[in-house]
């Protein structure tokens, strides 16, 4: 029998009602703009199967949804349901295991660790939930290693696999899961959440539009005082281009410098974490300190942040050219420019050299505008 806290009705923005104590606890509150996915998993929590696959773009709320679902599973039938769900919400419950990739892809070694952790008994109750994050980056040998465990886990063990898309290496795992699709978060839902979190309405709507369906990114942009400056700089790039390499290089260098400046808060946070690590090493020694994992995580976060900034800039350019389509007497130029920008945006997944990529883009845009 499930706790009343888990039976509240989902609202239009993808969250549920309050808990039975009337204190406002909301198991699904962090899931924004995904009412269909929330409804599917809330229903599934009443009679869960062994594995679920949440598929959607970065920033759409997959991990928040996975936490909420895990909270529903772990808290069901317990007298301390709200405590269990609250711990799960911040990923601190011992029976919620979140697996993040260590390197460029989920490795065979990590797959072995997942199998081992799935075989262990739950710590507190009868259930255990493993959330496997970023599994669109799974290595080619990982799927076969995990297949049997995900298909037939021990009793009370549930898998929630998160992926941006189902790649060829993920197909076999996906076939053993119930698939739940999420789309980009609507801009209005993002703005509404940002306002609820204390952001001014104008800043909230500006950040929501610039985030292009990514709530996590919107939260970063909403507190960035230089967002408008970077947006204007990207918007004005075509006005500076004349088809020469010199103009393209100057524009690329200026934008990359602005991205470097925008990363200052992330660099400060990384330094705090490195300092804390050094203090732990000084007290307990290097063994088990996690230096390699921390370094790899910082590299991923830097890469992700820079990619987000580039996507943001390309979105600004694309929006400009779309606007020009409605007013230009030479629509073929806007169409060609838009196609060029979209091609570069799609290529970001391959982690190209930023400076060379922007220079080449700006030379081509200069040619289309000539």
- Nearest one of 24, 22, 19 to 6, comparing CA atoms: 19
Show the CA angle centred on residue 183, arms to residues 198 and 225, nearest 5°.
Answer: 35
- Nearest one of 61, 55, 10 to 36, comparing CA atoms: 10
Q: How confident is the model at residue 370 (pLDDT cuts 50, 70, 90)?
A: low
CA distance 361 to 337: 9
Please name the residues in contact with 356: beta carbons below 8 A apart, sequence gap of 6 or more. none
- Which CATH class for the 4-181 domain? alpha beta
Question: Which range, of 21-30, 124-133, 157-166, 206-215, averages the lowest pLDDT?
Answer: 21-30
Note the pLDDT tens digit of each residue in 7-44.
433 333 444 443 433 334 578 888 999 999 999 999 99
Strand order in the sheet with 128-132: 96-99, 128-132, 157-163, 51-55, 178-181
Every domain of the chain with CATH number 3.40.50.300 lies at 4-181
Dihedral pair phi/psi, residue 226, rounded to 5°: -105, 10
CB atoms < 10 A from the CB of 116, how many?
A: 10
Note the pLDDT tens digit of each residue in 253-263.
999 999 999 88
Please give the model's pTM, rounded to 2 decimal places.
Answer: 0.76
DSSP one-letter string for 350-370: G---HHHHHHHHHHHHHHHH-
Place of tokens 């700006």: 362
Please name the residues in contact with 276: beta carbons below 8 A apart, sequence gap of 6 or more. none
Assess contact for 344 and 226: CB atoms under 8 A: no
CA distance 195 to 112: 43
């Amino acid at each position: 029998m499930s706790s009343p806290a888990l039976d509240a009705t989902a609202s239009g923005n993808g969250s549920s009602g309050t808990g039975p104590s009337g204190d406002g606890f909301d198991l699904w509150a962090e899931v924004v703009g995904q009412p269909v996915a929330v409804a599917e998993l809330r229903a599934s929590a009443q009679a869960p199967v062994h594995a679920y696959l949440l598929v959607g773009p970065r920033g759409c709320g997959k991990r928040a949804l996975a936490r909420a679902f895990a909270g529903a599973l772990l808290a069901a039938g317990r007298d301390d349901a709200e405590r269990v769900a609250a711990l799960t919400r911040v990923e601190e419950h011992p029976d919620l295991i979140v697996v993040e990739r260590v390197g460029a892809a989920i490795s065979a070694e990590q797959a072995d660790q997942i199998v081992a952790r799935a075989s262990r008994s739950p710590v507190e109750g009868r259930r255990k939930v493993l959330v496997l994050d970023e599994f669109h980056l799974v290595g080619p040998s990982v799927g076969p290693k995990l297949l049997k465990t995900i298909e037939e886990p021990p009793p009370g063990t549930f898998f929630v696999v998160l992926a941006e898309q189902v790649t060829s290496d993920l197909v076999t795992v996906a076939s053993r899961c119930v698939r739940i699709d999420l789309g980009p978060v609507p801009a209005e839902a993002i703005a509404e959440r940002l306002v609820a979190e204390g952001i001014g309405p104008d800043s909230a709507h500006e950040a929501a539009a610039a985030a292009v369906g990514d709530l996590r990114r919107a939260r970063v942009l909403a507190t960035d005082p230089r967002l408008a400056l970077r947006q204007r700089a990207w918007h004005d790039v075509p006005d500076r281009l004349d088809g020469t390499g010199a103009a393209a290089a100057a524009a690329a260098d200026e934008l990359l410098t602005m991205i470097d400046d925008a990363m200052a808060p992330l660099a400060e946070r990384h330094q705090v974490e490195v300092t804390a690590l050094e203090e732990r090493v000084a007290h307990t020694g290097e063994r088990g300190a996690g230096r390699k994992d921390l370094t790899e995580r910082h590299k991923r976060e830097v890469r992700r942040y820079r990619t987000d900034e580039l996507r943001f800039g390309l979105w600004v350019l694309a929006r400009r050219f779309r606007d020009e389509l409605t007013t230009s007497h030479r629509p073929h130029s806007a169409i060609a420019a838009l196609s060029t920008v979209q091609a570069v945006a799609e290529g970001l997944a391959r982690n190209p050299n930023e400076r060379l990529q922007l220079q080449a883009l700006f030379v081509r845009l200069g040619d289309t505008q000539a």
